[in-house]
Structure 1
Amino acid sequence: MPNTTSWLRSVWPSTVISTVLLILGSGLLFWNEGRSVKRNFSLMEALNDAITIDPNSDIDPTFSKRLVHFYGQIVTGEPLTEPEYNIQVQAVKLKRKVQMYQWVEETIEHNYGQSIDIMDRDERTYYYTQSWEDHLINSRLFSSPFTHRNPENFPIESHVQLAETVYIGKYELSKDLKIKFDDFQHISSDQRPDDPTIKLHQGFYFHSNDVFNPEIGDLRLLFSAAGMEGEYYTVVGCIEEGNKIVPYYTSYKTQINFLFAGKLKLTEVFDRQHKTYRLESWISRFIGWFDEYGFYRVMLTNHIYR
């Protein structure tokens, strides 16, 4: 009895964790298989319901609430701008990515050589480097926070602008479609910023006294755009309010709202989306199988050591 009690005390934490993994893994597999079946039926239903139209032709009222497919060139309204940096672009999205020069703490178990600003604590070696990071690093958690202090916030935040209106032919794309544009291309202005404290170097806009020797807290910005005006895109969605393309819902409550770069036939759109769904399903399967493997591995180990 004492041996059994001791064994139970030693294995109960791993048993609880492995049981949770089994529940999560089994639940994920059950949900994923149901989702896969639902998606496949929804794609077949949508493919049968969809019609191909010419976006440049006169709007036909009989197409209202119908699932349609078309392709054409992107047309945007007012340009997206970053006036302080002389950035102006006709696109669906304009992304501003901000990086700050900060201290970064790394740890190693053994000291393989001298590094800059090495601090030894509890048989670990802490070393500090400086690099451009797009997220805030909390230096108060460092082993040596007083000599390696980072700013507490970003003076300028990363941001994505979205065009107010986007058209393909005579049809306006809803926000649900506009946020799908993600093929970002780096852009910069032909003119340097009017502010002399902002320096342009190799496509980056620096808030720094010296771009070659930055200091902690200095900033650099990179701009990119997606959905450039004039590019061709293919859309599948529902016509609403006369000429607006919004998500379409099948009888299985699955949303059909597709956007792809280039000129694609209706069948090509659904083939690509089916491949995307299939990849997502396999990823979920592998995660579920891994969770279940973890359960059986722990239970087998506990049984052997008993």
Structure 2
Amino acid sequence: MREHTTVKTEPKAGFLERLSDTAGGMGIGLITFCLSFYLLFTNEGRAVQTAASLEEGLSVVFTIGNIQRVDPMNEAKLVHVSGVLQTSAPLFDPNYGVSVSCVKLKRQVEMYQWVEHEESKDYEENGEKKTETRYTYNTEWRSEVVSSRHFDREIAHRNPSAMAVESFTAVASDVQVGGYYLSKGLVEKIDNFKQLSLTQKGNPQADVITEGNYFYHSANHRNPEVGDLRISFWYAGVSMGNSFGSVDMASVIARQRGVELVPYKTKSGDQLELLYIGSHTAEEIFHAEHQSNVMKTWMLRGAGWFMMFMGISLMMKIFYTLVDWFPIVRDLVNLGLKLFALCLSSSLSLLTIAAGWFFYRPLLSLLLSTVAIGIIFLARSRVPSKKHQ
């Protein structure tokens, strides 16, 4: 590991300059504040629509027992099938002699490169603003080319501009479960990648060394140099015809169209096209989708609230800038602004969520609105009570 430290000195910003920076931050805060309303409101509609589509799907799905024979009577119906994966031919990489009967075969190429890490800290000294930055340089295996042109010190830390071998992912052209062919969207959901063991493989090329689960383009793979390559292979969706491991099963819920399984459009407007690796009942799949929908909904709610909090904080920062010359007042104002942003963002987030639910569940909407307004009144009631004490 190599490292060095630099110190950058700037004159301390004047009041007008800080005020100008604050004004720019207020503009960004306003945009963030407005976007948070859009995210929170649309997220509630999306969550309800997805839940309704899943409930509709569970009520009409039909489980097929004999998947080897496609029954025309199920045409255009939402069907549930489970069975082993099948592909028409193994996937093959001729450059390294790797062949696997699977849905996806990924060749991952990594290059030994210099990587720059930096840590900065700001402080004031003699009325000047200083930034101390510590740069460290390590050699690491990376799957993407790390550009050294923007390193603080490019000399002695130069990386190649490209890799001699490229990564790629091969996908089987025809994937079946029983007598049904899977659509492109269903095939994309097969991503249970596992690393292929290369211990039984010989050296595929004169300049390639096989060690463990990697092929190395290196004179000494135990002591690699910058620019050396190592290649690993990953496979997903093991299909019939493999000599290693067990064949993967897949459980699919989709619309039958001839011998294909394609997306099913619900009355709510969503597309149902579900695939899970393993043997699962229709009820288990829909239960997992409901849980995923709930988790996604709460994550977006949290993101929307955080955007609103940051937006309000940036818009109110001007009050902090006006008093930042007086340390005690500055700290009190900073604390007060954060509490104000916290209360206001929480209340407005709840009101926005309530508005999103109003069209679907009015009673829940009114309950959330009451809680949101209660937060505002509680925050305001604390001030006169302290004065009274």
TM-score by length of 2: 0.70
Query: CA–CA distance in 1 between the matches of 2:204 and 2:114?
Result: 30
3-state DSSP of counterpart to 1:130: strand
Query: CA–CA distance in 2 between the matches of 1:63 and 1:148?
Result: 63
Is the CA contact (8 Å cut-off) linking 1:55 and 1:171 kept in structure 2? no
Match of 1:239 among 251, 256, 263: 256
Question: For residues 42 and 148 of structure 1, do their structure 2 counterparts lie closer, same or farther at Cα, with a shift above 3 Å needed?
Answer: same
Q: Which has the higher helix share?
A: 2
Match of 1:214 among 224, 231, 234: 224
Query: CA–CA distance in 2 between the matches of 1:23 and 1:263?
Result: 45
Identity %: 33
**Bigger CA drift: 192-201 or 101-110?**
101-110
- Per the alignment, residue 81 of structure 1 pairs with 92
Answering whether residue 109 of structure 2 is matched by residue 98 of structure 1, we say yes
Query: CA–CA distance in 2 between the matches of 1:177 and 1:295?
Result: 39
Match of 2:270 among 251, 254, 262: 254
Query: CA–CA distance in 2 between the matches of 1:109 and 1:224?
Result: 38
Q: Which runs of 4+ in 1 moved over 6 A?
A: 5-8
Q: Decide which structure has the larger Cα Rg and report it.
A: 2
Is the CA contact (8 Å cut-off) linking 1:86 and 1:192 kept in structure 2? no
Matched letter for residue 249 of structure 2: Y
Question: For residues 299 and 79 of structure 1, do their structure 2 counterparts lie closer, same or farther at Cα, with a shift above 3 Å needed?
Answer: same
3-state DSSP of counterpart to 2:138: strand
Deviation at 1:147?
2.3
3-state DSSP of counterpart to 1:58: coil
Deviation at 1:6?
9.4
- Per the alignment, residue 72 of structure 1 pairs with 83
- Per the alignment, residue 189 of structure 2 pairs with 180
Answering whether residue 241 of structure 2 is matched by residue 224 of structure 1, we say no
Deviation at 1:182?
0.9
Question: For residues 109 and 22 of structure 1, do their structure 2 counterparts lie closer, same or farther at Cα, with a shift above 3 Å needed?
Answer: closer
Deviation at 1:7?
9.3
**Pairs within 5 Å for 1:42-191:** 42-109=53-120, 123-189=132-198, 190-191=200-201
Matched letter for residue 264 of structure 1: H
Is the CA contact (8 Å cut-off) linking 1:80 and 1:91 kept in structure 2? yes
Matched letter for residue 136 of structure 2: Y
Deviation at 1:44?
1.2
Matched letter for residue 210 of structure 2: L
Deviation at 1:297?
2.6
Is the CA contact (8 Å cut-off) linking 1:85 and 1:192 kept in structure 2? no
Is the CA contact (8 Å cut-off) linking 1:150 and 1:216 kept in structure 2? yes
- Per the alignment, residue 115 of structure 1 pairs with none
Matched letter for residue 235 of structure 1: V
Query: CA–CA distance in 1 between the matches of 2:68 and 2:237?
Result: 23
Number of positions where the alignment pairs a residue of Structure 1 with one of Structure 2 = 290
Deviation at 1:300?
4.3
Answering whether residue 52 of structure 2 is matched by residue 41 of structure 1, we say yes
Deviation at 1:160?
1.1
Is the CA contact (8 Å cut-off) linking 1:249 and 1:256 kept in structure 2? yes
TM-score by length of 1: 0.88
3-state DSSP of counterpart to 1:293: helix
Q: Which has the higher contact order (CA 8 A, sep 6+)?
A: 1
Is the CA contact (8 Å cut-off) linking 1:250 and 1:256 kept in structure 2? yes
Deviation at 1:57?
4.3
- Per the alignment, residue 340 of structure 2 pairs with none
**Bigger CA drift: 81-90 or 26-35?**
81-90
Query: CA–CA distance in 1 between the matches of 2:197 and 2:87?
Result: 19
CA offsets per residue over residues 231-277 of structure 1, 9 Å max, x none? 2110001111x211111111222110111121111111100011111
Question: For residues 181 and 6 of structure 1, do their structure 2 counterparts lie closer, same or farther at Cα, with a shift above 3 Å needed?
Answer: closer
- Per the alignment, residue 125 of structure 2 pairs with none
Question: For residues 271 and 224 of structure 1, do their structure 2 counterparts lie closer, same or farther at Cα, with a shift above 3 Å needed?
Answer: same
Deviation at 1:123?
4.9
Structure 2: gaps of 5 or more residues: 1-15, 122-130, 240-246, 323-389
Query: CA–CA distance in 2 between the matches of 1:279 and 1:9?
Result: 41
- Per the alignment, residue 207 of structure 2 pairs with 197
